Amino acid sequence: MKLWEKDFEINKEIERFTVGRDRELDLYLAKYDVLGSMAHITMLESIGLLSADELSMLLTELKAIYEQAARGEFVIEEGIEDVHSQVELMLTRKLGDVGKKIHSGRSRNDQVLLDLKLFTRDRLKDIARLTVTLFHTLQRQSETYKDVLMPGYTHLQIAMPSSFGLWFGAYAESLVDDMMFLQAAFRMCNRNPLGSAAGYGSSFPLNRTMTTRLLGFDTLNYNVVYAQMGRGKMERNVAFALAGLAGTLAKLAYDACLFNSQNFGFVKLPNECTTGSSIMPHKKNPDVFELTRAKCNKLQALPQQIMMIMGNLPSGYFRDLQIIKEVFLPAFDELKDCLYMTNYIMERMEVNRHILDDEKYAPIFSVEKVNRLAASGVPFRDAYKQVGLEIEAGRFVPDKEVHHTHEGSIGNLCTEEIALQMHSVVEQFHFEQIEKAEQALLNS
């Protein structure tokens, strides 16, 4: 069954090529397609295109299909083109001609736009909540180990004193910026395209404000042409936000692999989070973080993939956009896995409290001595030269006490201030508004 089917059969190879992976990928969208249909037909009844009895019958069946999709039991049958066709077929089998009425005033174009937005905002909610969980883990570890010093590096050369408080806390604050980007993408996503049809609206007197409210959107994509132009653009914007978060995780994973190696010995990963070698019995490999690094580096390429697919398209719908699903829809589960695994290990990571007992790290305290001399009145450049000559002559004796007090330094991590920033960003998502609207629709 195809919603556009007429009185001829399409070549089977053409069908295979054009349908592509849509049957597989549309399973991601099934429950969102049903939710969108519930809002659409509720609106159709309000403008007289469905009777109250027809609406009631359709809603009952759609709720049953929604539950089936939520349980992972929804199937797109062989020969059925996509999720939209499958849902309409299931309704028609149960309700006859009434099932054929749900498509009035819409197109598969605005259906898939809507499905993608409902899917994306739901997955962004998951990503945001996992990110907040990791943020709090990093902040706790930052406070726990705030007094444990470690070497800081520039050019992979030992540089100045750092601390595990700073290291954990740096990644926590990085997640705040990532969440700001995520929130911007979420807000662009959370606008209703339903009613734009094929990109040129409908002669039916659709109430788009009503479907916006029923689905918990912030507002509409008002211009129907722009609503269609948003296909691909929304995915690209969200992909950039996912890529920013993936970049933070990739860097953290690299640090963890490096610091876990015997040549550094700064941290120890939980035994159950490492893997062994088939030939070397001593090995405990940081495979989880290596795979996280690779997966996140792949995710950082996602915006470019989407841009290359949509980059040379004029306004209007084109089948090219179907291919974006293949790279976009699975990306959320991959990032969710990486967030979960990273949080699991960071919670259990053991820290070496005695790194700086090794004399090879003594030079990192040279700047501390330069600053003390400068504070006592010695010109900074003279103090720099004096300490440099001591190091060259092997006469430098470090004082391993550090006294950093300014905001964001070893002695003043500003953990609470960073937590307030994160709280402010999270509050602006308004997930509760969406959850309330969706629940009301499902209970209608």
Q: Which two tokens stand for residue 360?
A: 């090879």
The 8 Å CB, 24+ separation contacts for 70-77 are 70/31, 74/27, 74/30, 74/31, 76/23, 76/26, 76/27
Q: What is the pLDDT of residue 277?
A: 74
Q: Which of 176-190, 195-209, 249-263, 270-284 has the lowest mean pLDDT?
A: 270-284
Q: Are 332 and 297 within one domain? A: yes
For residues 185 and 240, the answer to whether their CB atoms sit within 8 Å is yes
Whether the pLDDT of residue 341 is over 70: the answer is: yes
Q: Are 334 and 370 within one domain? A: no
Q: Which domain holds residue 50?
A: 12-104
Last residue of a domain, one of 65, 84, 104: 104
Confidence of residue 278 (pLDDT cuts 50, 70, 90): confident
3-state secondary structure of 120: helix
What is the rounded average pLDDT for all residues in the chain? 93
Considering the domain boundaries, does residue 51 fall inside one? yes
Q: Are 89 and 228 within one domain? A: no
Q: Are 164 and 273 within one domain? A: yes
Considering the domain boundaries, does residue 412 fall inside one? yes
3-state secondary structure of 283: coil
CATH code at position 143: 1.20.200.10
Considering the domain boundaries, does residue 140 fall inside one? yes
CA-nearest of 202, 24, 177, 42 to 109 is: 202
Q: Are 380 and 324 within one domain? A: no
Which residues pair with residue 158 across a beta bridge? Answer: 153
Q: Are 274 and 376 within one domain? A: no
Contacts of 320 by beta carbon, 8 Å cutoff, 6+ apart: 309, 310, 313
**Each residue's pLDDT tens digit, 70-83:** 999 999 998 898 99
For residues 400 and 369, the answer to whether their CB atoms sit within 8 Å is no
Whether the pLDDT of residue 29 is over 80: the answer is: yes
Q: Are 286 and 335 within one domain? A: yes
Q: Are 165 and 137 within one domain? A: yes
* For range 288-299, the mean pLDDT: 96
* For range 424-434, the mean pLDDT: 94
Considering the domain boundaries, does residue 310 fall inside one? yes
**Each residue's pLDDT tens digit, 163-194:** 999 999 999 999 999 999 999 999 999 999 99
Q: Which two tokens stand for residue 152?
A: 């800081």
Predicted structure pTM score:
0.92
- Percentage of the chain surpassing pLDDT 70? 96
Rounded to whole angstroms, the Cα distance separating 140 from 33 reads: 41
Considering the domain boundaries, does residue 94 fall inside one? yes
Rounded to whole angstroms, the Cα distance separating 173 from 178 reads: 9
Last residue of a domain, one of 310, 338, 356: 356
Q: Are 97 and 151 within one domain? A: no
Considering the domain boundaries, does residue 396 fall inside one? yes
H-run or E-run covering 268: strand 267-268
For the chain, the domain total comes to 3
CATH code at position 67: 1.10.275.10
Last residue of a domain, one of 53, 72, 104: 104
**Each residue's pLDDT tens digit, 108-129:** 999 999 999 999 999 999 999 9
- Percentage of the chain surpassing pLDDT 90? 85
- Cβ density class 249-287: b for 16+ within 10 Å, e for less: bbebbbbbbbbbeeeeebbebeeebbeeeeeeeeeeebe
Q: Are 196 and 339 within one domain? A: yes
Whether the pLDDT of residue 12 is over 80: the answer is: no
Rounded to whole angstroms, the Cα distance separating 273 from 286 reads: 7
Considering the domain boundaries, does residue 433 fall inside one? no
Amino acid letter, 404: H
Q: Which of 64-73, 76-85, 271-280, 412-421 has the lowest mean pLDDT?
A: 271-280
Q: What is the pLDDT of residue 4?
A: 41
Whether the pLDDT of residue 266 is over 80: the answer is: yes
Q: What is the CA angle 348-352-358, rounded to 5?
A: 165
Q: What is the pLDDT of residue 22?
A: 75
Considering the domain boundaries, does residue 372 fall inside one? yes
- Cβ density class 359-368: b for 16+ within 10 Å, e for less: eebebbbbeb
Rounded to whole angstroms, the Cα distance separating 354 from 230 reads: 54
Q: Are 57 and 153 within one domain? A: no
Rounded to whole angstroms, the Cα distance separating 254 from 300 reads: 15
Q: Are 75 and 114 within one domain? A: no
Rounded to whole angstroms, the Cα distance separating 85 from 90 reads: 9
- Cβ density class 205-225: b for 16+ within 10 Å, e for less: ebbbebbbebbbbbebbeebe
